[in-house]
């Protein structure tokens, strides 16, 4: 039942987000989305089940009847069969009604009969505890808030700039009718530019889920068919989406220039109105092509046509009320600015279009590769082909975490190794996040010779380790590897301990011999359950394979 494939339209992410919200589990939306999208079985119930398990939420899939459903704790997930397999987040079950949470978080009640007509009989039951939640929730939550704040700031700056331009224009024109016309044309140009940008994105990334949602709201809506048709191009290599983008960018630029140069403001606005009036020809052509020739509709294209239609009606009305006005002032400057503002976005987009396509192709391939990379059977099969070592006794080196854990990660490192220092924070994060489910083993490649400078900090590590104080050895490792400069004198002053005992020297000699016997030629070298970690994996990938 967990292998059940679901509709790849955000259903899985939304179900996880709404379910954890009802369970009052602290987890960020970004964690759920990232976890699911890199899962080897996305989009399936298995992916969501593993995500919930990673959040320490107990869960299991069952096939039951409605009477059994009434005694199950809520919330739970019910698999319903519509056009595709989808998930319903059930919040309560009564004798004759059932309540569920929709994509927007609203609670909706339906009759039992309506639910049974869709329900497949499969549920994913869940149970949270006080230990449930995202491991680094506070840090990730802050990062998400910063990202939202930056987005709001960016949109706010655009709005502020528009208001500023409008006020500046109003102060120079002293005509409230003209100011209103300016503001309306400016808003239409901004909105049209945004929609055309989405069309350009769709051209280079037609698999974008957010855009696919917009472009598949009804049966006869198919943006891909419209945009890929011969009627979507004015000339070979020049699409109407690109022309629309240049049109709105050019108009917005002319309006912005008009707010700062009163001598040519009326001419620039007249020019914008002319272009909006004549754009209605393109509106009718586009609608006819979609209706009669392609026989499919593009939602985003229709939005653009609506903007152009409104702009042309407003502009035509302004001509009736105020007259044509004509072009005055420095005509050469006006025409030069117009040509520049309308051609520069086309040239820029054409120069970057290939890079955009490559980026989205790479992103898609990287996601597919990650799903294969983090597939447990594939990882196990690759791992078992790597170099194998005999089990290392716990008495050799430093061991942290759960000594009985089924996942054992061994790190061979050196105290003066920069890559070892860079890997230490990830190694520390493994210990903090999976302390009860992982055993971390550390072997040092240093000799005990006084001529080997690596021996000095290692002697302190091993002397502290002999005290059995795990917290102290963790702190000593942190202090050494997290230091910007590896200054042994400062370190030795902080940890004053006998380093010349027979036990310390014996430990270092045995570790050094072990590294030579096992032909360890570089540090850090990682081993997972006795096998050397494959080159295509890094220490950051280890959490995906910890057996919880």
Examine the domain organization and report whether 221 and 307 are in the same domain.
Answer: yes
Examine the domain organization and report whether 417 and 346 are in the same domain.
Answer: no
Q: Which two tokens stand for residue 170?
A: 């109003």
CA nearest neighbour of 379 among 145, 155, 542: 542
- Judged by average pLDDT, the poorest of 235-244, 316-325, 375-384, 444-453 is 316-325
CATH of the domain at 18: 3.90.70.10
Mean of pLDDT values over 479-500? 89
Which stretches within 88-127 are classed as H helix?
Answer: 112-116
CATH of the domain at 419: 3.40.30.10
CA nearest neighbour of 76 among 55, 92, 94, 52: 92
Q: Strand, helix or coil at 97?
A: strand
Residue 4: the pLDDT is 47
Q: Strand, helix or coil at 330?
A: coil
CA nearest neighbour of 286 among 276, 296, 277: 296
Tell whether 22 is covered by a domain.
yes
Examine the domain organization and report whether 317 and 206 are in the same domain.
Answer: yes
CA distance 466 to 483: 23
Mean of pLDDT values over 119-131? 88
Please identify, among 303, 334, 366, the residue that sits at the C-terminal boundary of a domain: 366
- Cβ contacts of residue 316 below 8 Å, gap of 6+? 277
Residue 1: the pLDDT is 46
Instruction: Please tell me the pTM assigned to this model.
Output: 0.64
| Strands ordered across the beta sheet of 97-101 | 58-63, 119-127, 76-81, 85-93, 97-101, 107-111
Q: Is-contact 348 245, C-beta < 8 A?
A: no
Residue 337: the pLDDT is 80
Residue 458: the pLDDT is 92
CA nearest neighbour of 44 among 8, 19, 18: 8
Examine the domain organization and report whether 175 and 212 are in the same domain.
Answer: yes
Is the per-residue pLDDT at 492 higher than 80?
A: yes
CA distance 13 to 31: 10
Other CB atoms within 10 A of residue 515 CB: 20
Mean of pLDDT values over 208-223? 72
Residue 217: the pLDDT is 58
Examine the domain organization and report whether 326 and 404 are in the same domain.
Answer: no
Q: Mean pLDDT over all residues of the chain? A: 84
Beta strands in 130-265 (DSSP E): 233-235, 238-239
Please identify, among 336, 366, 396, the residue that sits at the C-terminal boundary of a domain: 366
Residue 480: the pLDDT is 94
Angle among Cα 346, 221, 242 to the nearest 5 degrees reads 5
Examine the domain organization and report whether 222 and 299 are in the same domain.
Answer: yes
Higher-pLDDT residue of 318 and 532 is 532
Q: Is-contact 254 316, C-beta < 8 A?
A: no
CA distance 80 to 522: 53
Q: DSSP letter for 87, please.
A: E
| Confidence category of residue 513, pLDDT binned at 50, 70, 90 | very high
CA distance 337 to 208: 35
Is the per-residue pLDDT at 167 higher than 60?
A: yes
Examine the domain organization and report whether 430 and 529 are in the same domain.
Answer: yes
Residue 2: the pLDDT is 45
Run of H or E including 318 = helix 299-322
- Judged by average pLDDT, the poorest of 64-73, 240-249, 457-466, 488-497 is 64-73
Tell me the residue range of the domain where 415 lies. 387-545
According to DSSP, the β-strands at 85-93 and 76-81 are antiparallel
Distances from the Cα of 115 to the Cαs of 93, 112, 126, in angstroms? 11, 5, 20
At residue 238, what are phi and psi to the nearest 5 degrees?
Answer: -135, 105
Tell whether 143 is covered by a domain.
no
Q: Strand, helix or coil at 312?
A: helix
> pLDDT tens for residues 177-211?
777 777 888 889 999 999 999 888 888 887 777 77
Residue 442: the pLDDT is 93
CA distance 421 to 411: 12
Chain centroid to CA 232 = 31
Higher-pLDDT residue of 162 and 273 is 273
- Cβ contacts of residue 349 below 8 Å, gap of 6+? 200, 242, 245
Residue 3: the pLDDT is 45
> pLDDT tens for residues 385-441?
999 988 888 889 999 999 888 889 999 999 999 999 998 988 888 888 778 888 999
Examine the domain organization and report whether 121 and 167 are in the same domain.
Answer: no
Higher-pLDDT residue of 367 and 412 is 412
Examine the domain organization and report whether 179 and 327 are in the same domain.
Answer: yes
Tell whether 381 is covered by a domain.
no
Q: Is-contact 102 143, C-beta < 8 A?
A: no
Q: DSSP letter for 526, please.
A: E
Examine the domain organization and report whether 502 and 437 are in the same domain.
Answer: yes
Look at the block and give the residue holding tokens 């049966």: 219
Is the per-residue pLDDT at 79 higher than 90?
A: no
Which stretches within 405-469 are classed as H helix?
Answer: 418-433, 455-465
Q: Which residues pair with 93 in a beta bridge?
A: 98
Q: Which residues pair with 89 in a beta bridge?
A: 77, 101
Examine the domain organization and report whether 166 and 295 are in the same domain.
Answer: yes
Number of separate domains in the chain: 3
| Confidence category of residue 40, pLDDT binned at 50, 70, 90 | confident
Q: Is-contact 483 475, C-beta < 8 A?
A: no
Residue 531: the pLDDT is 94
Examine the domain organization and report whether 189 and 268 are in the same domain.
Answer: yes
């Amino acid at each position: 039942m967990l292998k059940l494939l679901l509709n790849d339209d955000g259903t899985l992410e939304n179900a996880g987000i709404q379910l954890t919200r009802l369970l009052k589990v602290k987890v960020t939306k970004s964690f759920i989305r990232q976890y699911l999208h890199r899962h080897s079985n996305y989009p399936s119930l298995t992916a969501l089940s593993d995500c919930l398990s990673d959040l320490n939420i107990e869960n299991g899939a069952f096939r039951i009847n409605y009477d059994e459903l009434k005694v199950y704790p809520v919330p739970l997930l019910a698999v319903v069969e519509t056009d595709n397999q989808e998930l319903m987040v059930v919040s309560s079950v009564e004798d004759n009604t059932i309540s569920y949470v929709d994509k927007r978080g609203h609670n909706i009640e339906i009759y039992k009969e309506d639910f049974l007509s869709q329900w497949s009989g499969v549920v994913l039951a869940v149970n949270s505890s006080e230990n449930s939640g995202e491991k680094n929730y506070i840090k990730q939550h802050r990062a998400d808030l910063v990202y939202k704040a930056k987005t709001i700031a960016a949109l706010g700056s655009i709005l502020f700039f528009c208001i500023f331009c409008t006020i500046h224009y109003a102060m120079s024109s002293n005509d409230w009718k003209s100011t209103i016309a300016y503001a309306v044309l400016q808003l239409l140009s901004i909105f049209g530019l945004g929609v055309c940008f989405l069309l350009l994105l769709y051209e280079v990334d037609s698999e974008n889920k957010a855009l696919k949602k917009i472009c598949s709201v009804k049966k006869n809506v198919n943006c891909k068919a419209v945009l890929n048709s011969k009627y979507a191009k004015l000339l070979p290599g020049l699409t109407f989406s690109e022309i629309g983008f240049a049109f709105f960018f050019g108009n917005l630029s002319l309006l912005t220039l008009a707010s700062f140069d009163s001598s040519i403001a009326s001419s620039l606005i007249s020019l914008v109105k002319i272009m909006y009036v004549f754009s209605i020809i393109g509106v009718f052509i586009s609608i006819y092509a979609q209706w009669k020739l392609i026989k499919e509709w593009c939602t985003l294209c229709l939005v653009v046509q609506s903007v152009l239609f409104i702009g042309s009606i407003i502009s035509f009305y302004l001509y009736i009320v105020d007259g044509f006005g004509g072009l005055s002032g420095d005509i050469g400057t006006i025409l030069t600015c117009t040509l520049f503002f309308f051609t520069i976005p086309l040239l820029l987009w054409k120069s970057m279009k290939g890079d955009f396509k490559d980026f989205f192709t790479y992103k898609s391939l990287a996601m597919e590769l990650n799903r294969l990379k983090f597939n447990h059977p594939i990882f196990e099969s690759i791992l078992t082909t790597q170099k194998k070592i005999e089990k290392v006794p716990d008495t050799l080196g430093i061991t942290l975490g759960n000594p009985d854990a089924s996942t054992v990660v061994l790190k061979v490192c050196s105290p003066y190794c920069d890559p070892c220092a860079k890997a230490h924070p990830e190694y520390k994060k493994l210990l903090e996040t999976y302390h009860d489910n992982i055993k971390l083993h550390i072997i040092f490649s240093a000799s005990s010779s006084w001529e080997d400078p690596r021996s000095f900090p290692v002697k302190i590590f091993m002397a502290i380790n002999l005290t059995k104080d795990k917290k102290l050895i963790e702190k000593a490792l942190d202090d050494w590897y997290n230091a910007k400069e590896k200054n042994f004198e400062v370190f030795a002053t902080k940890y004053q301990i006998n380093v010349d005992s027979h036990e310390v020297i014996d430990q270092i000699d045995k570790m050094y011999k072990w590294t030579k016997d096992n032909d360890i030629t570089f540090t850090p070298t990682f081993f997972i359950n006795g096998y050397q970690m494959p080159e295509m994996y890094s220490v950051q990938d280890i959490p995906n394979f910890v057996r919880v």
